[in-house]
């Protein structure tokens, strides 16, 4: 049976859920945050050591300003209101993505990382202002600047995910079968699960079904 160490999730479908049930995309994001909390708790229960959540992509800046503002308000709420609880639960928060954000958010993210840096029950990586192609190009530029050999090991040293093992599983909710510029390098050998449910409807049972399926997969990593 496979050991499950790292789960990555594209939390898609908030907007559609919000429109369907509350006539507001932002209401879908709010409901999505409840699912985030549920899935973190369940990951701890399952002894998963890394959970990477795609919270905001570099492409999401194309959305209406009101939606962008709401998403960052939610992030602010999540960090400032929940940080003590997360810390008590021994959860380490790590941001992957460019922190080139407004000063208040930048400070808050650094505060959350610093406060939880020695925790070790689970590491929750929040992918924020994250784009995989940009991450790859940035790493290559750094290799050139540092005049070091181009190989996989050196390349990975300059990724946001440095020292984080590759995801075993990628889950994408929301009935869309694509990667959307998420962890393109890191997902090379991950098992991918596309889930029809919208993110706010995704629950522990759905997660459990995926975990069970994953455990039984024969993973070859290119071998036979
Ligand atoms: C994609 O759904 C979801 C996002 C761009 C944001 C994800 C944010 C959350 C789950 C809540 C906040 C989380 C944290 C950690 C603070 P979509 O809006 O693209 O859905 P759609 O495809 O139905 O439009």
pLDDT of 36: 98
Contact, 32 vs 10, CB < 8 A? no
Which residue, among 12, 52, 7, has the nearest Cα to 29 in the 3D structure?
12
Res 224: pLDDT: 84
CATH class (in words) of the domain with range 6-131+168-216? alpha beta
- For residue 217, how far is the Cα from the chain centroid? 23
Domain boundaries, the chain: 6-131+168-216
Alpha-carbon Rg of the chain, whole angstroms? 17
Mean pLDDT by 10 residues, the chain (224 residues): 97 98 98 98 98 98 98 97 97 96 96 98 98 97 96 97 98 98 98 98 98 95 86
pLDDT for res 187? 98
Spatial distance between the Cα atoms of 76 and 54, rounded to a whole number of angstroms:
16
Residues noted as catalytic? 12, 60
Give, in order, the Cα–Cα distances in Å from 162 to each of 71, 105, 125, 134. Answer: 26, 23, 12, 15
Instruction: Please tell me the predicted confidence (pLDDT) of residue 176.
Output: 98
- Ligand 1 centroid to Cα of residue 80, in Å, is 19
Distances (CA, A) of 188 to 1, 55, 82, 169, 206: 20, 21, 33, 11, 24
- Contact by Cβ (8 Å): 124, 93: yes
| Ligand 1 pocket, residues with Cβ under 6 angstroms | 11-16, 29, 32-33, 36, 53, 55, 60, 71, 74-75, 78, 126, 174, 199
The model's pTM is 0.97
């Amino acid at each position: 049976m496979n050991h499950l160490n790292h789960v990555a999730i594209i939390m898609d479908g908030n907007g559609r859920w919000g429109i369907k049930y509350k006539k507001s995309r932002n209401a879908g994001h709010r409901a999505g945050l409840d699912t985030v909390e549920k899935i973190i708790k369940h990951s701890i229960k399952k002894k998963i050591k890394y959970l990477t959540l795609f919270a905001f992509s570099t492409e999401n800046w194309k959305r209406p300003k009101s939606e962008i503002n709401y998403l960052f308000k939610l992030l602010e709420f999540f960090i400032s209101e929940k940080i003590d609880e997360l810390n008590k639960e021994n959860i380490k928060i790590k941001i992957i993505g460019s922190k080139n954000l407004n000063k208040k958010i930048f400070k808050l993210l650094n505060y959350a990382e610093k406060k939880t840096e020695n925790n070790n029950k689970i590491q929750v990586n929040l992918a924020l202002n994250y784009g995989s192609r940009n991450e790859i190009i940035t790493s290559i530029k750094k290799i050139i600047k540092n005049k070091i050999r181009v190989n996989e090991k050196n390349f990975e040293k300059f990724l946001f995910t440095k020292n984080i093992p590759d995801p075993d599983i990628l889950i994408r909710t929301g009935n869309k079968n694509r990667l959307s510029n998420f962890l393109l390098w890191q997902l090379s050998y991950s098992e991918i699960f596309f889930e029809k449910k919208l993110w706010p409807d995704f629950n522990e049972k759905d997660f459990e079904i995926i975990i069970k399926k994953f455990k039984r997969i024969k993973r070859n990593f290119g071998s036979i």
